[in-house]
Every structure is written in structure tokens, then in C-alpha cells.
Chain A
Amino acid sequence: MTDSEAHAQDAGLVHQFENLEQQQEADFLGIWVFLVTEIMFFGGLFASYAIYRWLYFAAFEAGSHILNAEIGAANTMVLLGSSLTMALSVRSAQTGNRRALVFFLIATMILGAIFLGVKAYEYDQKFVEHVVPSLDWAPEGEVLARLAPGGLGHAQLYFFFYFAMTGVHALHMIIGEGLLLWLVLRARKDAFTTHYFAPVEVVGLYWHFVDIVWIFLFPLLYLIGGRY
């Protein structure tokens, strides 16, 4: 088979690759390298978090106890569910089941949106409790009583990390929602075949990565110290 025949037969093959297999390998290596950069990106945040948590443990523990761990746990389950539906989307793409692919992609989007909605509610609660660093920092009553022993300045650092880390995570979720929408639109146009499904798998890997970040964020932010 000549080059041009191969290109004509393989929908989705772009000109710089010889065949779909090479293209798929390049796509997969590309997303893995990208995820490595993401690990380094979050790594700077996690390293800084680790230092201050070690220095100011009491304040971090007190700050953590202001958060609602039940809501956080429920949200974690929602996100894990979205990873399941994402994995099923990839499976559906591999088997060429377009209806299932679109269904599971939309399910993933809905679960992601629920997660973001709950996150927005939690952010709003922080304004109600006046524990937003700089913008609305005036804890009072019971919240103040719980935060004061660890030092209010250090508690503010804790909430700085809370907003920075969950904020960057949420931004990644929003980008992921956009990517999922792009996949849904392409899948509805029947762009994917059992040979060409790399975009679904690439976005899937991204989505799982963002989930894994949350798996670390949840215990690090919500479950500091013995709570129960």
C-alpha cells in the first residue's frame, strides 16, 4: 500500500505521520509528557504546602476543621464516579459504540459540573464564615474561637493554600469540561473509529489526572489531624 492510499483509508491520520499506529503512539507519549509538566506545576504548590503545614501544624489543623469534610467526601465520590464514566467512554470509543460514547461523555460532564457546583457552594460558605484571605478575612464567633489558638496569620496561610490549590484544580476541571464538550461534538459527527480514538483516550488521561490531584487534595486539606 502506498502512502497516499494509506492516508485515504485512515480517517484522522495527519500528514506528518506515516500511519495511525505511529500517530497514536505520539499522541499518548505527548499527553504523558504533558501530565509530567502538570505534576511539576502542582508539585510547587504541594511542596510549599508541606513546608508550612510542618511549620504551622496547629493552624492548619484548625483551619482544616472549619471545612465540611462530609461535603468534601461526597464530592470526592462524585469525581470518582466521573472517572468511571470517563473510563467507560474510552472503552466505548475502542469498541466503536458511538451512542454509548456520547452517553458516557455527557455523564462525565454532568458529574464534573456537579463537583464544580458543590465547590462553588463551599467557596460561598467561606465568605459566609469570613475566612477568605485578604478579600473577606474577619472570622468571628465559633470560627474565630477555633482558629485563634493556632494563630490567625497562620490560619490565613492555610486558607490561602485552600483557595490556591482547589482553585487551580477547579480551573483544570473547567478546561476538562471544555475538552469533553469538544469530544461530544466530534463524536456526534462520527469522527472516531475503532482505529482512531486517541483524542478520547488523551482527554481521558487528562481527566483522570485531574481526579488524582483531588484524591491528594481532599485528605491534605479536609482531613488534617484526628477529627473524629
Chain B
Amino acid sequence: MSTATLEPQPRVHTQRNYLNADYGWKSWLFTVDHKRIALLYMISVTFFFIIGGSFAVLMRIHLTEPQGALVQPETYNKLFTLHGVVMIFFFLIPSIPAVLGNFLVPLMVGARDLAFPKLNLLSWYIYITGGLFTLYSAIAGGVDTGWTFYTPYSSTYSNTQVTAVAIGVFITGFSSILTGLNFIVTIHKMRAPGLTWFRMPLFLWAMYATSIIMVLGTPVLAITLFLLALEHLFHVGIFSPALGGDPLLFQHLFWFYSHPAVYIMILPAMGVVSEIIPCFARKRIFGYKVICFSSVAIAVLGFLVWGHHMFVTGQSIYAGLIFSLLSFLVAIPSAIKVFNWTATLYKGSISYEAPMLYALGFIGLFTMGGLTGLFLASLATDVHLNGTYFIVAHFHYIMVGGAVMGYLGGIHFWWPKITGRMYPNAWAALAAAIVFVGFNLTFFPQFILGYLGMPRRYAFYPAEFQVLNVMSSAGATVLGVGYLIPLIYLMWSMRYGPLAEPNPWGATGLEWTTSSPPPTENFAEIPVVTQEAYAYAPEEAAGD
């Protein structure tokens, strides 16, 4: 064994699978196989994650000194704008749905592919086209409006590449519309015999809820950016007070999409965690139906809370009250999920494999992010905290502590299925721990900074905030190392990792009944489902 570790494992994947079915770049760029498209997306979102991450690195270096250590203030504005645009529209939103969702939805419903494979491939090309526009804008001078493109920064007073970025984000929106449409139709019409709605894995419920948001929300972002581009190109428009237009209308339309978009990022991660927790607790999930409905409830309520981004904009105080109340309501289904995961862990036979570490990290960090969200949903405290680093810390706990942890957990959970190879578990566990520590060191100080009144989006800060800022920058370094390690050992494992069995974790779910990696047609015979999704403890299920 010890002599063989450094040599490539014998290629015993003699069995036909989706990876060795065909070779050459054409077989990838013109593929309609959902599994190959998922890999195309995986490579692309990793690329954009590195781009967006490097902007963050530059920002954290800059903020190690009160006067700014690295760049001009104008450049700093462009850095945080592009960091936000790239991370949100080109990494977080497509990450779990387009990578893991694409790979798993057909496998989990027991189908041979998504309902519309060509649209699926088209969605990737649309995503890439939008990404190229955004990269072009970054090279051609950048954009400094903040990722929210607020008017009049983005219209009257703009002197940067707003149009190119707006077009890039506009185009990319259609890729998530197509992905959402594909998932909705696939889940409705292509479930295997016996796979009733309440036998579906919770990941599918999460994907379904996410798809609803993608389908209903993204078109509104598209028309908003379209109107913004018109205004920017022709210097006439409905967001300009010059003609009687209202810049606040832009914020209303923008947040009508962009608040639900937060749930596009977090719901899929919740779905991943709902798969991992029962598997490594060897226990059926607690309160299955309640988790199903809480996903849908988050999707629906998410559309009714956009005004909480606008408490201090001069929006009517009564509107503010209603939006505040509705924002508090979102906490209910979110908390239900957290309680159900912990209840699932209770008296489970827990093992701490790498995916489980990410899932447990997710629960803690998401809870922190969610509870601090309530500070911001309260009208009075929001007046103090709005526009400070408290907000930055809050949404990074949700998006990085939540969505990215969920994505990494999912990647580690399904990596054996995707590649047919195992990764070194010790390295993976170490990386998960480093990510957790680095993340908290980066963002917890920002809660304090924000509470003390340090505004976000400034290139300078008073000298008294330096210690906390240096802590944050140090944490970002640790976090960066934590992200780099999986990149290395996962790529290593694709060639040198031990071969994976069809079901290395002993998990339930149709995706584990087929070989690793699956054949192009997914299943030799379309499977028939005869039991609930998480039958980890049959004796308990029988007594239910």
C-alpha cells in the first residue's frame, strides 16, 4: 500500500461513465449531458470565485492601515463593487444550483437528464457571455457604484463602465431563469415511479423553492437593469429627478429581486445541509414535511421584505413597519430548519467526516448571520447599524458562512459521485477547520467595527479601528489558505484519489444507487421508489 500511494490508481473505471464516454473539447463544449454541464459550471464558478476573492484580498490589504495601504480611493470603490458583482452574480447565485443542482436534480428524481438539456447548455453559454462583459468592464476601467448600482451613482454621476456591467448582469440573469425553469419542469414531470412529492430529498425541495425565486425574481432585475442602461445611454429616464423621475424607484425594483436573491444563495445550501446531517447522524431527518414547507415559505416571504433595505431612504414609516414585521416572519421558517437539524443530531450516531464538518459549521454561522439579521430588521437599531460594517459582517455570515460552507460541504459530500474518486479525509477536515476559524476571525471583528460606527465602503478609517481591521485582514489570510487547500487536494484526488464505491457514505437517495461516476444515461433502468427519503433507521420509520 505504502509503495503504491504516489502512483496513479489503476484505471479500473473500465465501466462506461459520463466522464469516459467521449473525449475531446467538442464533447465538453457541445455536451447536453447535465453532469458535464455541471462540471463546466464548476470550473467557471471556481474561476469567478478566484477573481472575486482576489478583489477581497486587495481590499483587506488596503484596510490594514487607517490611511489605506494599497490603492487610491477610486480604485478601492471599484474593488468593492467588482468583488460584490462577481461574487453575487457569478459565484453565489450559480454555485449550488448550477453545479450541484445540475448534477443532482436528474439523479435525485431518477431521470435520464433535465427536461430541456439544450436550454441547460445554453444557460452556461449565457452565463459565460455575461461573465465576459463583466470582465471586460473590469479591464476597461471598472465600475464604482457598489454592486447595487444605485441611481444616481450609476446614471447621472457615473463615470465608469456601468453599461457594460449592467449588460453583463442582465445577460447572466437569463442563465439562472433557464436553470430555474428546467428544475421546475423536471421536478414536476420527470420524477421516477413512486417518488411522490413527500418522498423527495429535501435538496430537491430546496432546489424547487430556489427555482421559484429565480423564475419570479430575475426578470424584474432584468427589466430594472434594462431601464438603467437606457437611462445611462440616452441620459433620459424614469430614475432621474430631472424629468420628475424617482431614484428610489430603482431601489424598490432592484431589491424586489435582490432580496429574494439572498434566498437563491442560502436555500440551496440549506438543502445540502439537510442531506448531509441525516447521513452522518445515521438518522432520519426530524420534521421532514416542516422543512419542505419552510423552504417554500422562505421563497414566498422573501418577496415581501425588500423594503427593509430602505428603512433610512425616506420610505414611509408605515411601509417600514410592515416590512420590519414581514422580515421578522422570515426568521420563523429559518429557525425551524436550524431546530430540525439539531433535533436530527440529537441521539444520532454522529461521525465527523469532512462534509459533516462543513454542515455543522454552516448551522453555527448561519444562526449567527440570521440572528444579527434581526437587528437590522428592527427599525430603530437599523438606523444605527445601516451602512456600517455590521451589515457587511451580517451578510457575509449568511453568504460566506452559510452559502459557501454549504457549497463546500456539498462538493465534499458528492465529490465521490461526481469524480468517482475519494479525497484525503484528514486534509479535508483540516481545511474545514481552517475555513471556520479564518472566517470567524475575518468577520466577527466587523460586527464590532460596525457597532462602533465604522461605515462600509470607505477607503479610510479612524486610527482607533486599526486593531480590529488588522484582525479581520489576518483572518482573511487564514480563510484564503482554507480555500486553497481543497482546491489542491480535490484536483489531486481526480488523478490519485482512491476509487469511490457507488455509495461511500452509506447514504440514502437515488443518486447513490447508480455507479460512481454515473453512466451518461444515469440509470440502466429507471428506478422505482418505495420508501421515504431518509430511511436511515427503518425500525423507527416503521413505528412512525
Contacts and interface: CB of A to CB of B under 8 A. Distances in A.
Interface of A: 14-18, 22, 25-26, 29-30, 33-34, 36-38, 40-45, 47-48, 51-52, 55-56, 133-135, 137, 151, 153-154, 156-157, 160-161, 164, 168
A34 B181 contact: yes
Contacts, number: 109
A134 B234 CA distance: 6
Contacts of A55: 244
Taking chain A's interface residues, is the majority helix, strand, or loop, or is none over half, making it mixed? Answer: helix
10 contacts: A16-B114, A16-B190, A17-B115, A36-B215, A40-B220, A41-B219, A41-B223, A156-B236, A160-B236, A164-B227
B163 to A, nearest CB: 15
A31 to B, nearest CB: 9
B65 interface: no
A21 to B, nearest CB: 10
Nearest to A154: B244
A33 B185 contact: yes
Interface string B208-226: 0000000111111011101
B489 interface: no
Contact of A48 (B227, B242, B243): B227
Contacts of B219: 37-38, 40-41, 43-44
Contact of B253 (A36, A48, A56): A48
Contacts of B234: 133-135
Given A38-B219, A44-B253, 14 more contacts: A15-B112, A16-B106, A18-B526, A30-B115, A30-B185, A33-B185, A40-B216, A41-B219, A45-B223, A157-B238, A157-B243, A160-B230, A160-B236, A160-B243
A89 to B, nearest CB: 23
A14 to B, nearest CB: 8
Nearest to B223: A44
Interface in B97-122: 106, 111-117
A26 B115 contact: yes
Q: For this complex, into which size category does the number of interface residues on chain B fall?
A: 35 or more
Interface of B: 106, 111-117, 177, 181, 184-186, 188-190, 215-220, 222-224, 226-227, 230, 234-238, 242-246, 249, 253, 256, 521, 526
A30 B236 CA distance: 37
Contacts of B256: 44
Contacts of B249: 48, 51
A34 B244 CA distance: 34
Contacts of B526: 18
Which of A15, A37, A51, A135 counts the most chain B CB atoms within 10 A? A37
A47 B219 CA distance: 13
